Amino acid sequence: MPHTPTPEPDEDDLDAVPPPQPVFHVEQALLGALLLDPHRIDDVSGITADSFSTAAHAALYAAINTVPQPDPAEHAKNTKWLDRVLTAGREQARGLTATYLHTLVQVCPWPSHAPAYARMVEAEHARRRLLTAAERLIHTVHDASLPLPVQTVLAEADALTAVVDDIANRFPPRSGVLPRTPAPPPALAPDHTEAVEEEQLLLATATARPDDIDSVRWLLPDDLTLTLHAGLWQCLTTLARRNEPVDPVTVLWEAQQRGLLDDGSEPGEVLRMLAEPAGSVEHWGERALQRSLLATAEHTGRRIEAYAGDPANTPFQLVVGARRALADIAAVRTRWQNATGATPPQQRRPVPAIRAGPPTTTAAHAAQSRRATR
């Protein structure tokens, strides 16, 4: 049997483009329902043209909303309204054709299900919004050109939180519904060598000036990048809290009692590291905390990116998972503000643009209850 070559798809024939995701079919069904029964646009809520995954679908939805609805009897007799919609849509997407509009009408199973299709489009758009916000946070963490990296990253985290809150307003989370996607492991800081050197200076300076350890109580062992450094910081804070003598030898002995040398660390190397102080404990502690905050922000962004990148996760799961991840940034942020003595105002969260939901915080519920009792 002779082989028949597969024809190349026409650039203007959008129907020949393979659907990238299942939501493509949902969008087709929704648009087909609205083209067949334009009055059903009144039953659709929660979405805008930006909610669609392709420029062609976005342009067509905008045209449907822009062109005045036809008389139902006239619409059943001719294609004048469809022609006007096509003309308006092609102003933004030149590839739209009358054939594609006909295809959309044909593939719509039930025009009466338009509200359900719109809800699916809204859910997929929420996932893409969350993915974009998480990617932006990760990019900001790695932007070496920022003059104020912490403030900029925290502002981006606020923007991500606002997206999560907006999705929660549209899809109130159900308790106990977590994303099924496993969280990625923390990434190694790109300036790992610099971090190690600065942490060694922190440990040595704290050993030389143990009275200054109390001034950096906001610094936790987990803020340090190496397990040995985290353990030695625990040794230092423990000895200082007990008012016991602190010097390289006493810290080394405490480290041995805690099993910190079991990984092969040489006692002589530890002693040499602890005997080379420089600068101040607060300075090196603040540097370590800044790295910890940025690393936490990146890991939070990657967790949310992983959740949002899995289309099997529902908006309910995305909200729960994202809020748990963002709680890690909030905890480090509080310690950073205590360390620097600055409490910058958080970015104002935008009001949901389409649909307002029930209060999602304890304070909001309390305020609503007070208003109800007046």
The winner for highest mean pLDDT among 30-39, 181-190, 262-271, 364-373 is 30-39
Label residue 114 by pLDDT band (50, 70, 90).
Answer: very high
pLDDT over 80 (residue 5): no
Mean pLDDT of the region 112-134: 97
C-beta neighbour count of 64 within 10 angstroms: 23
Pick the range with the lowest mean pLDDT from 22-26, 110-114, 233-237, 346-350.
346-350
Burial class, 207, CB count within 10 angstroms (exposed 0-12 / middle 13-18 / buried 19+)? buried
Q: Which residues contact 106 (CB under 8 A, 6 or more apart)?
A: 32
27 versus 21: the higher-pLDDT residue is: 27
pLDDT over 90 (residue 149): yes
Query: Residue 18: its pLDDT value, please?
Result: 58
Label residue 173 by pLDDT band (50, 70, 90).
Answer: confident
| Average per-residue pLDDT for the chain | 87
As a whole number of angstroms, the distance between CA 50 and CA 27 comes to 12
Query: Residue 181: its pLDDT value, please?
Result: 86
Nearest to 213 by CA among 202, 225, 228, 197: 202
Label residue 265 by pLDDT band (50, 70, 90).
Answer: confident
pLDDT over 80 (residue 217): yes
b/e per residue 139-159 (b: at least 16 CB within 10 A): ebbeeeeeeebbeebbbbbbb
- 302-361 per-position pLDDT tens digit: 999 999 999 999 999 999 999 999 999 999 999 999 999 865 545 444 444 444 344 444
H or E element at residue 241 = helix 227-241
Give me the percent of the chain exceeding a pLDDT of 90.
75
> Cα separations (Å) of 91 from 41, 63, 81, 137, 217?
21, 9, 16, 34, 61
H or E element at residue 134 = helix 114-141
Nearest to 255 by CA among 230, 224, 280: 230
Label residue 182 by pLDDT band (50, 70, 90).
Answer: confident
As a whole number of angstroms, the distance between CA 179 and CA 131 comes to 14
**Helix, strand, coil percent content, the chain, rounded in steps of 5:** 65, 0, 35
The winner for highest mean pLDDT among 13-22, 246-255, 355-364 is 246-255
Structure tokens given for 220:
């936790």
Query: Residue 76: its pLDDT value, please?
Result: 86
Q: What is the DSSP string of 316-348?
A: HHHHHHHHHHHHHHHHHHHHHHHHHT--PPPPP
Label residue 162 by pLDDT band (50, 70, 90).
Answer: very high
**Is there a contact between 115 and 44 (Cβ–Cβ < 8 Å)?**
yes
Query: Residue 350: its pLDDT value, please?
Result: 47
H or E element at residue 236 = helix 227-241
Nearest to 294 by CA among 337, 339, 333, 334: 333
Query: Residue 17: its pLDDT value, please?
Result: 55
Mean pLDDT of the region 73-100: 92
Q: Which residues contact 286 (CB under 8 A, 6 or more apart)?
A: 216, 339, 340
- 275-307 per-position pLDDT tens digit: 999 999 999 999 999 999 999 999 999 999 999
Mean pLDDT of the region 132-136: 98
As a whole number of angstroms, the distance between CA 289 and CA 305 comes to 24
Q: Where are the beta strands (DSSP E) in the chain?
A: none
Pick the range with the lowest mean pLDDT from 128-142, 178-192, 280-294, 353-367.
353-367
Label residue 77 by pLDDT band (50, 70, 90).
Answer: confident
The Cα angle at residue 94 between residues 92 and 98, in degrees rounded to 5: 110
Mean pLDDT of the region 227-243: 96
